[in-house]
Amino acid sequence: MNAVASAPAGVLDVAQQSAETAHYRAQDWFVVLRQQGWHTFQSLPMPTRDNEKWRFSDARSLSLDGYAPAPAPTAAQAADLIARSRLISDAAGLIVHVDGHCILKPTLSAELVAQGVVFESLEDAVRTRPALLQEHLLKHPVLLGSDKFAALHRAWLRAGYVLHVPKGVEVKQPFVSVTWTLTDDVAVFPHALIIADERAVADIHDFHLSAKADQRALAISAVDIHAGTGSQVRRLAVQAWGSATQSFQVDNTCGGRDALISSVNAAVGSRRARLENCVRIDGEGADVRLYGISVATGEQEFDQRTLQIHAAGHAKSDLLFKNALLGKARTIFSGLIKVAPEAQRTDAYQTNRNLLLSPDAEADSLPGLEIEANDVKCSHGATTGQIDPAELFYLRARGIPLAVAQELLAQGFLEEVLAKVGHEQAAAAVREMLRLKFHQA
């Protein structure tokens, strides 16, 4: 142990990574997975801005130095954060992590257990459900640029959860995961593996939060969603890490025949946050809705990269990302719709709307289409603008002060996406986070 202690500590330290991997000796497949992650991470360069996938990003300021795993929280800290995690009162189950340690395991109703629903920590599932995990865990390619970060995620994979809803089981209440950072300079690698079998129905709410507002941390999260034939998967992901966090989210979804998939990604936290959201439609008749919403303030950078892949025909995908920017904030939206030659009768849309609330804010938009089929309906659009002066005057003519009027209009701009959350309490929680963001700006 002395040799380890004298080595450079942290997530870039091979000895520390190996030592943690050694805990999984009994699950050799998982050891291999982590080792592969480490080797891939070592072999890849850090991204630079001349890479098309990082265009407009402030790649120069990317740094992975100085972040380390943190010990489990004290009982008192855990109790406090569990209490603060009860955001959704009708949750089907709640799982809570702090600094990468699972501090609350979900308790499912006897009915859900009897139906075969699995909602448990990744760490438990690695031991108890190797077959399920080996089939589904991290099987998607990372296509949107964060290969190196995704590899580090794989190398340190431990935190997170597995949700498996078996064939024909419909769960109306949301499964809720709350992931906290608590210790400054902690590195966390939360993972969500969501498997909805044929005709299964599942609703997931993921909250990424920090115990304090200015938390310094590195968060590299990944999501694998497997939506089977005729399944319905609805997910809300809230990125509200502390303001000194670097966040990377690599979301991958594949949708089977007639699957209904909807995701809302809400972002308020972090100093820089990159979201890569890739959806692959493998089955005909699938219907995918991707929504994004953010309020960027100060010197925040929100970097959104999306990819809608239509590999099967007669399917629909629709994307709407809305950003409100204050201060010197920057957002980048880069979205691509790819339609394979065999994916005839595709309906695919993509819209990015940015509201600039400050002259110093900047929103870049890079929409794109790559269509190889000839019988499709595809469109993309992007707008960046300011508050409509006529709307502003209307509110002020009712006595509403300028700052309040601007906030109301900006919130109204974002409401279109909040309406897609489909769960009133969750939407209210996000609405409140957005509101607070305006007030802190």
Partner 1 sequence: MSDSLVINNLHASIGDRPILKDFSLTVPKGEVHAIMGPNGTGKSTLSKVLAGHPDYSVQSGEAFLDGEQIIGLEPDVIARAGLFLAFQYPSEIPGVTIANFIRAAIVARQAKGAPFDAKAYYAELYAKMDALKMDRKFTGRFVNEGFSGGEKKRCEILQLMMLKPKYAVLDETDSGLDIDALRIVSEGVNAMRGPDTGFLVITHYQRLLEYIVPDRVHIMWDGRIVHSGGKEVALELEAKGYDWVKTELASA
Q: Which residues pair with 332 in a beta bridge?
A: 303, 364
Residue 54 or 413: the one with the smaller Cβ distance to partner 1 is: 413
Q: In the bound complex, what is the minimum distance in angstroms from residue 233's beta carbon to partner 1?
A: 26
Residue 254 or 405: the one with the smaller Cβ distance to partner 1 is: 405
Residue 186 or 326: the one with the smaller Cβ distance to partner 1 is: 326
Residue 226 or 322: the one with the smaller Cβ distance to partner 1 is: 322
Beta strands in 76-229 (DSSP E): 93-98, 101-104, 118-121, 160-165, 175-181, 186-188, 191-196, 201-210, 216-227
b/e for 70-89, b at 16 or more Cβ within 10 A? Answer: beebeeebbebbbeebebbe
Residue 146 or 354: the one with the smaller Cβ distance to partner 1 is: 354
Q: In the bound complex, what is the minimum distance in angstroms from residue 245's beta carbon to partner 1?
A: 28
Report yes or no: 283 and 257 within 8 Å, Cβ to Cβ.
Answer: yes
Helix, strand, or coil (residue 280):
strand
Instruction: Kindly list the residues in this chain that would bind partner 1 in the complex (CB under 8 A).
Output: 388-391, 393-402, 404-405, 408-409, 411-416
Residue 201 or 382: the one with the smaller Cβ distance to partner 1 is: 382
Total residues found in the chain within this entry:
441
Q: In the bound complex, what is the minimum distance in angstroms from residue 9's beta carbon to partner 1?
A: 48
* Rounded-to-integer distance, Cα 92 and Cα 175, Å: 5
Q: In the bound complex, what is the minimum distance in angstroms from residue 415's beta carbon to partner 1?
A: 3
* Rounded-to-integer distance, Cα 21 and Cα 190, Å: 16
Amino acid at 297: T
Q: In the bound complex, what is the minimum distance in angstroms from residue 287's beta carbon to partner 1?
A: 24
Strand order in the sheet with 232-240: 101-104, 93-98, 175-181, 201-210, 232-240, 260-267, 287-296, 316-325, 346-356, 376-385
Q: In the bound complex, what is the minimum distance in angstroms from residue 419's beta carbon to partner 1?
A: 9
Q: In the bound complex, what is the minimum distance in angstroms from residue 97's beta carbon to partner 1?
A: 33
* Rounded-to-integer distance, Cα 162 and Cα 137, Å: 9
Helix, strand, or coil (residue 43):
helix
Residue 4 or 402: the one with the smaller Cβ distance to partner 1 is: 402
